[in-house]
Amino acid sequence: MRKKIVAGNWKMNKNFLEGIDLAKELVEKHQPSESNKQLVVCPPFIHTAALSELFSATSIELGAQNCHTSDKGAYTGEISAGMLKSLNAKYCLVGHSERRANFFEDNQELFQKCKQLLANDIRPIFCCGEMLEDRREGAYFDVIEDQLEVLWKLSKTDFQKVVIAYEPIWAIGTGETATAAQAQEVHAFIRSQVAKKMDVTIAENTSILYGGSCKASNAIELFSKPDVDGGLIGGAALQADEILAIYNAL
């Protein structure tokens, strides 16, 4: 049975004390459910050490928003996968649309990040998704297929540790959300690509998350679709009650 995951991406929000308060509220209110369901929190780096300690006696897993392609070196301002591992991080975002657009991350860089994370027993949450013009032109499958090429370079053993997140860029932070049918269509396509490039069993066990303005009010409908295994949550992750309601919709 593939894991159902809700991962909260705080992005560049919450100062140190605000982040601690939010994490404490999550710890207080989160009620763990079945073992195949997982809540992950990906805060800014300033919170990582404190949240590692706060989550240590809970079922909430710590994630990160980014890592560098190298394990160490003269890379001022960067964080390595090994540093994240030392804080017991279990997940890390790779290829988020904001990183692709604002920091020009390409396929080769994303592949190296995946390799660094996997070498440190951290599960990449690999993001893919189309822009509005791609959607309008009917080219979204082509865009996603190209973005997924990074993953086919991994061994089958490594690939099975990867989580995929579909994030339609036109629905991020806009209040627009892909319909449940649109999300299912793309998630099913992604799973078919995994089956084609890896194998059917691996495809059936790969968690694929939806990441486009998912909130408590639409989570049940989205998660009811057979190929939608949870969500990568942005704005709604900044409110404990909201993200916990999304988690409870799994």
How far is Cα 215 from Cα 76, in angstroms, rounded to an integer?
36
pLDDT digits (tens, 9 = 90+) for 124-174: 999 999 998 999 899 999 999 999 999 999 999 999 999 999 999 988 877
Do residues 22 and 247 touch, judged by C-beta distance below 8 A? no
Using CA atoms, how far residue 211 sits from 23, 81, 163, 174, 202, in Å, is 21, 23, 12, 12, 22
How far is Cα 65 from Cα 91, in angstroms, rounded to an integer?
9
Give me the pLDDT at residue 33, please. Answer: 77
Pick the CATH number of 4-248 from 1.10.10.10, 3.10.580.10, 3.20.20.70, 3.40.50.10330: 3.20.20.70
pLDDT digits (tens, 9 = 90+) for 69-86: 999 999 999 999 999 999
Mean pLDDT score, 49-58: 97
Q: Of 30, 47, 68, 96, which is the active-site residue?
A: 96
Do residues 246 and 41 touch, judged by C-beta distance below 8 A? no
Residues whose CB falls within 8 Å of the CB of residue 38, separated by 6 or more in sequence, listed in order = 3, 4, 5, 6, 59, 61
Give me the pLDDT at residue 35, please. Answer: 84
| Band (212; pLDDT cuts 50, 70, 90) | confident
Residues paired with 164 in a beta bridge? 126, 208
| Band (1; pLDDT cuts 50, 70, 90) | confident
Return the closest-CA partner of residue 45 out of 98, 112, 6, 92. Answer: 92
Give me the pLDDT at residue 175, please. Answer: 73
Do residues 90 and 128 touch, judged by C-beta distance below 8 A? no
Model pTM? 0.96
Mean pLDDT score, 223-231: 98
98 catalytic, yes or no? no
Do residues 228 and 186 touch, judged by C-beta distance below 8 A? no
Helix (H) or strand (E) holding 9: strand 4-9
Mean pLDDT score, 20-28: 98
Q: How far apart are the first and last CA of the chain?
A: 14
CA 35 to chain centre: 19
167 catalytic, yes or no? yes
Do residues 218 and 246 touch, judged by C-beta distance below 8 A? no
What's the token pair of residue 8? Answer: 């909260």
Do residues 117 and 159 touch, judged by C-beta distance below 8 A? no
Residues paired with 4 in a beta bridge? 37
Give me the pLDDT at residue 213, please. Answer: 86
How far is Cα 124 from Cα 121, in angstroms, rounded to an integer?
9
The fraction of the chain above a pLDDT of 90, given in percent, is: 92
Decide which of 23 and 34 is more confident: 23
pLDDT mean across residues, the chain:
96
